[in-house]
């Protein structure tokens, strides 16, 4: 048993565990017996604790709160699912909501497949232009993770495949170890909320964490690189829930593999309507000047990969041609050269 700790409000780890995003939308429907309000984002501290202590047996990270949630976990056994079952699982998820508390708005479900805990994102090309766009973006996400890995940084292991008109992106969960093991994991937002209170974006929060000795200088550099690369590939969804850390010791955090890295500038509005959004690659700042040249080189190579991919629709690839030209023009006029 470790020392106790007093929190004035809801602890950061409980906030991380609460139902949220696409996979939290079905929580109320599946657990009507808890009689919780219809908008989880407005729950009181007591209501959040009721949810995670009664039905929190599969939350992000390694913690399980409450006797009921612990008993549910101890009485459960991972139920393997085959890829051939994914199309029906996707239909079921759309009809009835999700199973885990993992965040994010992209349709997805959690499963145990081929000896791994995975999150499976899905899209249906037959559902119209928005469906085709999401199919393109699933491939883009896979390729972005590969690009990050090629640059020497850790990224979530993923694989995409198509079954009929449906496309799936299977992402390995790095907060799980084997069938039953778990690893502590906290988002940048949760760490900021507990230790800094900045409420800012990736780089300002990272700089504060470095100053407080909570992360290493190398992880701060990685975060600045990832933020730069993300901006240069049109990832407009770089919120503080989309980057996470392992907790090596109290007040000591280590950057986890990156995930949810893709050109969200192309994402359908509200998930269903295609709307034009400007891609505006930005020059370096005083905080990114040392990583910008390397990140921009990898971003340009990423756009080249998308343009050459036969797995993307022709309409989408043409949009990538335009974005690549914009980035190339910016690189030509920015007085920053070399790599780091």
pLDDT in tens, 265-290: 999 987 778 888 999 999 999 999 99
Asked if 237 is an active-site residue, the reply is: yes
> How many Cβ atoms are within 10 Å of 308's Cβ, its own excluded?
10
Q: Which residues contact 204 (CB under 8 A, 6 or more apart)?
A: 198
Name the active-site residue from 237, 248, 260, 311: 237
The pLDDT tens digits along the chain (340 residues) read 456 676 766 777 777 787 765 555 667 777 888 888 877 778 888 888 898 899 888 888 888 899 999 999 899 888 899 999 999 999 887 775 444 444 446 788 889 999 999 999 999 999 899 999 999 999 999 999 999 999 999 999 999 999 999 999 999 999 999 999 999 999 999 999 888 887 889 999 999 999 999 999 999 999 999 999 999 999 999 999 999 999 988 889 999 999 999 999 999 987 778 888 999 999 999 999 999 999 999 999 999 999 999 999 999 999 999 999 999 999 999 987 654 4
For the purposes of burial, counting CB atoms within 10 Å of the CB of 323, is it exposed (0-12), middle (13-18) or buried (19 or more)? Answer: buried
Structure tokens at 146: 């590969």
pLDDT in tens, 10-23: 777 777 787 765 55
Helix, strand or coil for residue 167?
strand
pTM as predicted:
0.90
Q: Which residues contact 27 (CB under 8 A, 6 or more apart)?
A: 19, 40, 51, 55, 97, 98, 101
pLDDT in tens, 182-217: 999 999 999 998 888 878 899 999 999 999 999 999
């Amino acid at each position: 048993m470790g020392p106790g700790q007093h929190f004035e409000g809801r602890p950061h780890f409980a906030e991380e565990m609460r139902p949220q995003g696409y996979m939290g939308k079905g929580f109320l429907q599946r657990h009507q017996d808890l009689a919780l309000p219809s908008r989880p984002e407005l729950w009181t501290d007591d209501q959040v604790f009721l949810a995670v202590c009664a039905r929190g047996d599969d939350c992000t990270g390694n913690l399980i709160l409450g006797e009921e949630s612990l008993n549910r976990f101890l009485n459960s056994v991972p139920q393997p699912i085959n890829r051939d079952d994914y199309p029906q699982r996707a239909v079921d998820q759309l009809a009835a909501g999700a199973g885990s508390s993992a965040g994010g708005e992209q349709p997805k479900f959690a499963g145990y497949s081929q000896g791994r805990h995975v999150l499976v994102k899905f899209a249906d090309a037959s559902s119209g232009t928005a469906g085709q766009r999401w199919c393109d973006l699933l491939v883009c996400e896979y390729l972005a993770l590969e690009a990050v890995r090629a640059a020497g940084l850790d990224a979530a292991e993923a694989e995409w495949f198509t079954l009929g008109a449906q496309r799936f992106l299977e992402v390995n969960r790095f907060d799980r170890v084997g069938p039953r093991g778990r690893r502590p994991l906290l988002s940048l937002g949760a760490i900021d909320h507990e230790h800094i209170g900045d409420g800012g974006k990736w780089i300002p929060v990272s700089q504060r964490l470095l100053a407080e000795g909570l992360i290493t200088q190398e992880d701060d550099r990685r975060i600045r690189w990832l933020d730069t690369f993300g901006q240069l590939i049109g990832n407009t969804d770089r919120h503080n829930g989309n980057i996470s850390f392992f907790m090596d010791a109290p007040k000591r955090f280590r950057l986890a593999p990156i995930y949810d890295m893709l050109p969200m500038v192309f994402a359908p509005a509200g998930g269903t309507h295609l709307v034009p959004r400007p891609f505006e690659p930005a020059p370096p700042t005083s905080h990114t000047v040392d990583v910008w040249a390397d990140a921009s080189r990898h971003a340009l190579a990423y756009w080249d990969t998308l343009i050459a991919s036969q797995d993307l629709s022709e309409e989408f690839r043409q949009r990538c041609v335009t974005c690549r030209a914009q980035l190339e023009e910016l690189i030509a006029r920015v007085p920053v050269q070399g790599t780091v």
